[in-house]
A and B are shown apart, each in its own frame.
Chain A
Amino acid sequence: MLHPVLVDLGGVPILTHDAFVALGVLVGAAVFVREARLRGNADERLWGVVAGALVGGVLLGRLGTWAQHLDPRGNASLVEQWAYGNRSILSGLVGAYLGAIVAKRLMGYRERTGDLFAPAIALGMAVGRIGCLLSELPGTPTSLPWGVVLTPAEAATVPGGVAGVPLHPSFGYEILFQLVAFGALRWLRPRITVPGELFSLYLVAYAVFRFAVEYVRGNETVLAGLTRPQLFLLACLPIAGWQLARQARRGVYANVFRRPAELEVPG
């Protein structure tokens, strides 16, 4: 099940996780460019927004989980965190969001850009998570028929690994979610035309999914049986839910279940 090394090129190991992260970045970039062309957005300032999002995403993706403990002595130094610390998609998304906002301010760009990023993030993460699926602890024990079983050698390579017990393929669930989300975003594109709303919907859907999947991922629980990502999401979800409800009341999602023929503006 686990293949932490994708290929060994004459004594140079290529790690599966790193390779799929890189591939996910390239796929995400391709989807972003295609989405910008489909929407006819050729504003050159988008380059700056992309730069801001990437820098913010990379910095917070690596350093965002630095302050894990309330007691500062329990946290690694920033240098240690950069070198060995765990990477976090949630922190990376927050960093990318903040980076894009800062870059838009600096570039004087006022349009909402989230709808360009949403499908790119979804498909990029679907690809990137393949690396996690093949190299990290799959999840918690399960009796479901699709549980994956680690050999003793594989279990020894991942922290908390248990051999001979079926485990939830939690990263497989996330890959499925991201693929469905990518398809849903394409389907919703002509139906939700208010700028930025597709991105908001995607973020809320991912937050709900991530909160649920944390129960079978096997991350450390730190408070009230919840993991750190769940605690973070618990703080964010009410705000996101309120925003979603407000937009729904304004009729932003009124066209979601209409057929394409009904969406056309009459003569």
Chain B
Amino acid sequence: MSTEWTVPEPPPERGRIRTRQVWVGIGLAMVGHLVTIGVVLVAVAVSRDTSELPGLEGLLAGLVAQAVLFVVCIIAGGVLVARGDRGIGVGVIIGWAVGVLVAPVIGFGICVAAMRQP
């Protein structure tokens, strides 16, 4: 039986949260919010000829898109924080929340303009 002791290698240190990566995550979530605005526009355009209330179709499509975006951002962000690039993960979660507050500034106007078009 060997009496020599060996010191095991320490576990790899988790990467630091870098500000640049956080901004990348925020940017990704913002792109997601822009996509939800695009979904509304497409739904309004597609249902314009077939529905009496294309605005309602757009609203429903937008709500579904927002729900999907929420789930994707929270799950992807959480997984990244736990196992991947923590900066991007935290950024995606922050970006989702900030996007909910900021995206309506342009999103609402664009959607209203689309619905006004003859």
Could you tell me the dominant secondary structure of chain A's interface residues?
helix
* B102: contacting residue among A11, A22, A55, A57, CB under 8 A: A22
| CB <8 Å contact, A58 and B97 | yes
B90 on the A face (CB < 8 A): yes
Query: Are B97 and A47 interface neighbours, CB within 8 A?
Result: no
Give complex CA distance A47, B66 in Å.
23
Over the window 19-53 of chain A, the binary record of Cβ atoms lying under 8 Å from chain B Cβ atoms (1 yes, 0 no) is 10110010000000000000000001101101100
User: How near does chain B come to A115, taking the closest CB pair, in angstroms?
Assistant: 20
A14 at the interface (CB under 8 A from B): yes
- Whether B63 lies near A22 (C-beta < 8 A) is no
Given A14-B109, A48-B81, A83-B59, CB of A55 within 8 Å of CB of B104: no
Q: Does A15 contact B (CB under 8 A)?
A: yes
Q: Is B106 an interface residue (CB 8 A)?
A: yes
A54 and B63 contact, CB distance less than 8 A: no
Interface size, B (range): 20 to 34
Q: Are B97 and A18 in contact (CB under 8 A)?
A: no
Q: List 12 A-B contacts (CB under 8 A).
A: A11-B116, A12-B109, A12-B113, A14-B106, A15-B105, A19-B105, A22-B104, A47-B22, A47-B87, A51-B94, A58-B97, A83-B63
Question: Within residues 33 to 77 of chain B, which ones have a CB less than 8 A from any CB in chain A?
Answer: 59, 63, 66, 74, 77
CB A129 to nearest CB in B, in angstroms, measures: 14
Binding site for B on A (CB under 8 A): 9, 11-15, 18-19, 21-22, 25, 44-45, 47-48, 50-51, 54-55, 57-58, 62, 79, 82-83
CA of A255 to CA of B50 in the docked complex: distance in angstroms?
70
Chain B residues in 8 Å Cβ range of A54: 93-94, 97-98
User: Is A55 touching B105 in the complex (CB atoms < 8 A)?
Assistant: no
* C-alpha spacing A11/B116, complex, angstroms: 9
| Chain B min CB distance to A207 (Å) | 23
Given A9-B109, A15-B104, A54-B98; 14 other pairs, CB 8 A cutoff: A12-B112, A12-B113, A13-B108, A13-B112, A13-B113, A18-B104, A18-B108, A21-B102, A25-B102, A47-B90, A48-B90, A54-B97, A58-B100, A58-B101
Query: B17's contact among A9, A44, A83, by CB below 8 Å, is which?
Result: A44
Q: How far is the CB of A14 from chain B (nearest CB, A)?
A: 5
User: Chain B nearest CB: distance from A32 CB in Å?
Assistant: 12
Distance A131 CA – B77 CA, assembled complex (angstroms): 31
Contact A22–B94 (Cβ < 8 Å)? no
B28 within 8 A of A: no
CA distance A9 to B102 in the complex (A): 17
Q: Which residue of A lies closest to B81 (CB)?
A: A48
Chain B residues near A14 (CB, 8 Å)?
105-106, 109
Q: What A residues does B113 contact at CB under 8 A?
A: 11-13
Closest B residue to A96 by beta carbon equals B97
Q: Does residue B83 face the partner (Cβ distance < 8 Å to A)?
A: no
